[in-house]
Amino acid sequence: MPQSIEQATFHNSFVDELPGEASMDNRPRQVPGAAYSRVLPTPVRQPRLLAWSEELAAELGLSRPPEQGPAVDVLAGNLVTETMKPFAARYGGHQFGSWAGQLGDGRAMSLGELSAVDGSPREIQLKGAGPTPYSRRADGRAVLRSSVREFLCSEAMHWLGVPTTRALSLVTTGDLVVRDMFYSGNPQPEPGAIVARVAPTFVRFGNFQMMTAAGELDNLRTLADYVIRRYYPELGEPSAAVYVRWFEEICRRTAVMIAHWMTVGFVHGVMNTDNMSILGLTIDYGPYGWLEPYEPGWTPNTTDFSHHRYAFGQQPRVALWNLVQLGRALSPLVDNVEELNAGLDRYNTTLNETRRELYGRKLGLTSFTSAEDLALLEVLPEALADGVVDMTLFFRRLSHLAPTLITQPEQEEALLAELVRETSYVELGPIGQQHLLPWLRRYTARLRQETTDPDAIQTGMLAANPKYVLRNYLAQQAIEAAETGDLTLLNRLMQVLKAPFDEQPEHNELAAKRPEWAREKPGSATLSCSS
């Protein structure tokens, strides 16, 4: 039987098995020698449940709570039960390529772990629950706009099949939080909120970087052994050889995640090493965005506008750079540092293989290994950028066209022209079509070589090309409505995004191209790290 979260028994392996400090002192400071600091959430004035993931709750064996009460008090940080040992993790990281020293959970606190119905551990973490020793000059809070975005996108990515952390609940606090949304010298009070995030663990690359940078090699080994024994038991008991295999597996998982990002059009926006999960999960939904016009150089993060380090097309390279930094942090654990290069090679190989596999499904090609196929994939980004097409809409429409393109070649030119016209954000003349239309003709010729039934090809493509993603302007509209107390669009998006590959014709407008008014609108087109 499902139980309410305040009645659940929490486990505390991170606190029980790793070195930490238990002073409960939330003052910002350096915390040498610790993997975590014990903390207590700071109570909020009037917590109310705003959103709840029924499916994730079922996995955890939890029942939906009423709008207010003991369960919501837990989810807001107002109630800490006897089995919880809340903590904030200590970690460091490279931010925009520069070493930033100690960072840590500045506005997140983990309550402990629950055992899911299948027996696996799930850490429950409150984002926005108040200050910790790692908050630096901040207040440890989060605002409603960023919390809505994190809640919706965590669950949307899960239903798309992208490796990700999850979100259980969204609670408003009844308090106001002052934020300068674009660091423009114009701070404003905004409604506060707290998201309950869920993952097997929230350990990041930066946890290991911090210990190596501080010369805490015993703690480095203890943390590595904890992660291997608990989350990578198939590798065997920790040893120098196992550390090498472990790093290779982290590289593999990271590559799979990045390949998924690149084939659904997701832009993380702030791929610092402290925002990289040791499990290869998408973590920390801050200034993320979804490609609308296909622009490899696009980033939603205003903080990154000068260098575009974390732009869409840069994500595979940045992930590799981040893995190099992790490898350096783990190097004291291995006998021969050169052995770690196998992990970096595995990243490149897995990224290419997974990308080919995912694009093969998107394009309806059962075999995607010939030199001709690889050449077709190689020039695809340039073709999509040339057409300034809406990535999600383009592949969905192509899925519907595939059977006709196969069986009625005489209609090819008209169908391809219509596809480009319907999915592009610009009026295309001959110059603007110099790459996209020729690519589509080559692709159509290749598609006709398939021996699978055309209807079966279409079915497979529709299962690989989502109709619905969390478009930036839709998230912003849901935020603006929620700030007035209207949850209609928030609830609607929650339901639609659970079935992103289904037609759901009654929700067609949620699959439309970005409207012109949203092209430059703050929140719809640009965001910052402020929350």
pLDDT in tens, the chain (531 residues): 899 999 999 999 999 999 999 999 999 999 999 999 999 999 999 999 999 999 999 999 999 999 999 999 999 999 999 999 999 999 999 999 999 999 999 999 999 999 999 999 999 999 999 999 999 988 999 999 999 999 999 999 999 999 999 999 999 999 999 987 766 678 889 999 999 999 999 999 999 999 999 999 999 999 999 999 999 999 999 999 999 999 999 999 999 999 999 999 999 999 999 999 999 999 999 999 999 999 999 999 999 899 999 999 999 999 999 999 999 999 999 999 999 999 999 999 999 999 999 999 999 998 888 889 999 999 999 999 999 999 999 999 999 999 999 999 999 999 999 999 999 998 866 555 678 999 999 999 999 999 899 999 999 999 999 999 999 999 999 999 999 999 999 999 999 999 999 999 999 999 999 999 888 888 777 776 655
Beta bridge partners of 266: 290
Query: 392 and 432 share a domain?
Result: yes
Q: How far apart are CA 277 and CA 205, in angstroms?
A: 6
Residue 43 is assigned to a structural domain of this protein: yes
Question: Please, are residues 136 and 28 in contact by the beta-carbon 8 Å criterion?
Answer: yes
Residues 34 and 182 in one domain: yes
User: Same structural domain for residues 170 and 26?
Assistant: yes
204 CA to centre of own chain: 13
For residue 502, tell me if it sits in a domain: no
CA dist 494 and 53 (Å) reads: 9
Query: Quick one: tokens of 394?
Result: 């383009």
Task: Spell out a b/e string for 76-115, using b for 16 or more CB atoms within 10 Å of the CB, else e.
Answer: bbbbbbeebbbbbbbbbbbbeeeeeebbbbbbbbbbbbbe
Helix (H, G, I), strand (E, B), or coil: what is residue 242? helix
Could you tell me if residue 515 is inside a domain?
no
9 & 77 share domain: yes
Task: Tell whether 115 and 180 lie within a shared domain.
Answer: yes
Q: Are 192 and 213 in a shared domain?
A: no
87-89 and 48-52 strand pairing: unpaired
CB-CB contact of 228 with 235 (8 Å):
yes
| Residues 531, 527: Cα–Cα separation, whole Å | 10
Q: At which of 201, 226, 256 does a domain end? A: 201
Comparing CA positions, the residue from 414, 404, 418, 415 lying closest to residue 448 is: 404
Q: What is the pLDDT of residue 528?
A: 66
Backbone angles phi and psi of 52, in degrees to 5: -150, 135
Q: HSE, CB side, 13 Å, CA atoms: give it for residue 391.
A: 25
Assess if residue 518 is contained within a domain.
Answer: no
Q: Out of 73, 225, 274, 390, pick the active-site residue.
A: 274
> Same domain for 147 and 246?
no
Query: Rounded CA gap, 334 and 240, in Å?
Result: 5
* Judgement on whether residues 92 and 169 belong to the same structural domain of the protein: yes
Helix, strand or coil, per DSSP, at residue 299: coil
Please report whether residue 402 resides in a domain: yes
In a domain, 117, yes or no: yes
Instruction: Give the Cα separation of 19 and 37 in Å (integer).
Output: 9
Q: Which tokens go with 352?
A: 């290419």
Q: Is the dihedral of CA 12, 16, 21, 22 positive or negative?
A: positive
Q: Which domain holds residue 187?
A: 5-201
Q: Which of 229, 316, 227, 219 is nearest to 277 (CA)?
A: 227
Give dist(CA 443, CA 378) in Å, integer. 12
DSSP state at residue 67: S
User: Is residue 143 classed as helix, strand or coil in its secondary structure?
Assistant: strand
Q: Which sign does the torsion angle of CA 389, 275, 522, 148 carry? A: positive
Last residue of a domain, one of 161, 186, 201: 201
Helix (H) or strand (E) holding 251: helix 240-264
Number of domains in the chain: 3
279 located within any domain: yes
User: Is 455 part of any domain?
Assistant: yes
Do 184 and 225 reside in the same domain of the chain?
Answer: no
Q: 61 is written with which tokens?
A: 């064996």
pLDDT (0 to 100) of residue 344? 98
453 labelled catalytic = no
At residue 531, the pLDDT reads 52
Q: Is residue 229 within 8 Å of residue 201, measured between CB atoms?
A: no
Of 182, 201, 220, the residue that ends a domain is 201
> In terms of C-beta density within 10 A (0-12 exposed, 13-18 middle, 19 or more buried), how is residue 175 classed?
middle
Angle between helices 371-378 and 341-363 (to 10 degrees): 90
- Residues 211, 166: one domain? no
217 with 146, same domain: the answer is no
21 and 103 share one domain: yes
